[in-house]
Structure 1
């Protein structure tokens, strides 16, 4: 199921505002013990916390890291996620002639950062139990979709009952690409002239590790 459209073309005030809008779209999942909201760090955790609070359901973090092209780090060639998952965008890798060694070098660095974030955000808390649960994966937006796709692949390994991807904004083509990947996709804003995620927020300030920890505790 795909749900999109309805948000003002002006976008959102901030990540919490975006989370409240997503929660309105997900009202049928409110106050259910079998539902958990997973935020993708860092900004996605702020949005996820607003979703979980309004729905009255559990919140946790699910770590994923983009693999940036070596000479253009903002361009994603793939992503790594909790559980040893690595997803590559073969088109980007082949078109730019990125070697396996270059991919692995970036992947090693990002796996180290992934482990650091897991320890920082989770501490002694064990990972959330996802088997048989309705998992709502939340980020503050999608550009290429590489990180979200890696998160979906990783979550599927835990045999959830259902995987929902909820993001406030994404380009139309990215939304379409997830049609056969998740059970349900919620994206209120799909502007044809996308530009960047931050373009659709009035306040898109950076989120610190300390803020993420505070939201999770």
Structure 2
């Protein structure tokens, strides 16, 4: 993609607390429509992105599907991402974390292959036998419930950059300013409702940020 359109809404003085993921998705849908952004397809990142994706897809009157990535955890610390990989093998490398944890290339590539297969299996399970959606010449909106480091989002966007989609828009309720600025370089537009300087975690912006089960998440694809 040659041109980049930055389309972010930023409230720095105060932070909004969303009632739950559906509330956040409804507000995202409104924000997209206010900006004149329409799409032929909405892709949610499971699991937490699906309640929002359902609301956004309904607002845009577009079909809903998934884009899946898995985190690549550091040696001995699987919760700390040294990268992430999408279901097609597209990878994002956190070079600073790789260096800081002394992650060697053999370990990284081994985990990449394992997690890419996990992502493929998850995408297939969520689709229930349906084929992956066609992206050619479409405007695609990617939705998640928020970003912190954005590792899985970055891998998902890397996958979509390899497609023939006409336009890729990222829509999230909240994220730290530096992460959102980085993500703007990967897409044609970003709609982010809140980019607070005091960001410490996505959950702090939700009154209800409970876990979403696979069963509940998949139900949003059937609505």
1:15 aligned residue: 21
How many residue pairs were aligned? 214
Matched, 1:80 2:75: no
Once residues 75 and 9 of structure 2 are traced to their aligned partners in structure 1, the CA distance between those partners, rounded to angstroms, is 34
Equivalent of residue 37 in structure 2, options 21, 25, 29? 29
Q: Calculate the TM-score normalised by the size of structure 2.
A: 0.90
Q: Calculate the TM-score normalised by the size of structure 1.
A: 0.92
1:110-160 alpha-carbon deviations (Å, 9 max, x no partner)? 223212212210121010011110010011011112211111110121111
Helix, strand or coil at the partner of 1:78: strand
Once residues 71 and 197 of structure 1 are traced to their aligned partners in structure 2, the CA distance between those partners, rounded to angstroms, is 25
Once residues 192 and 72 of structure 1 are traced to their aligned partners in structure 2, the CA distance between those partners, rounded to angstroms, is 27
1:63 aligned residue: 68
Runs of at least 4 residues of structure 1 off by over 3 A?
none
1:126 aligned residue: 131
Q: For 1:51-200, what aligned pairs fall within 5 Å after superposition?
A: 51-200=56-205
CA RMSD of aligned residues (A): 1.6
1:44 aligned residue: 49
Once residues 192 and 153 of structure 1 are traced to their aligned partners in structure 2, the CA distance between those partners, rounded to angstroms, is 26
1:170-200 alpha-carbon deviations (Å, 9 max, x no partner)? 0010011122211000101111111111111
Inter-CA distance 93–207: structure 2 relative to 1 (3 Å threshold) = same
Helix, strand or coil at the partner of 2:149: coil
Contact between 2:89 and 2:113, CA under 8 Å: does it hold in 1? no
Segments of 5+ residues of structure 2 without an aligned counterpart are 1-5
Contact between 2:43 and 2:143, CA under 8 Å: does it hold in 1? yes
Contact between 2:147 and 2:202, CA under 8 Å: does it hold in 1? yes
Q: CA deviation at 1:3?
A: 1.2
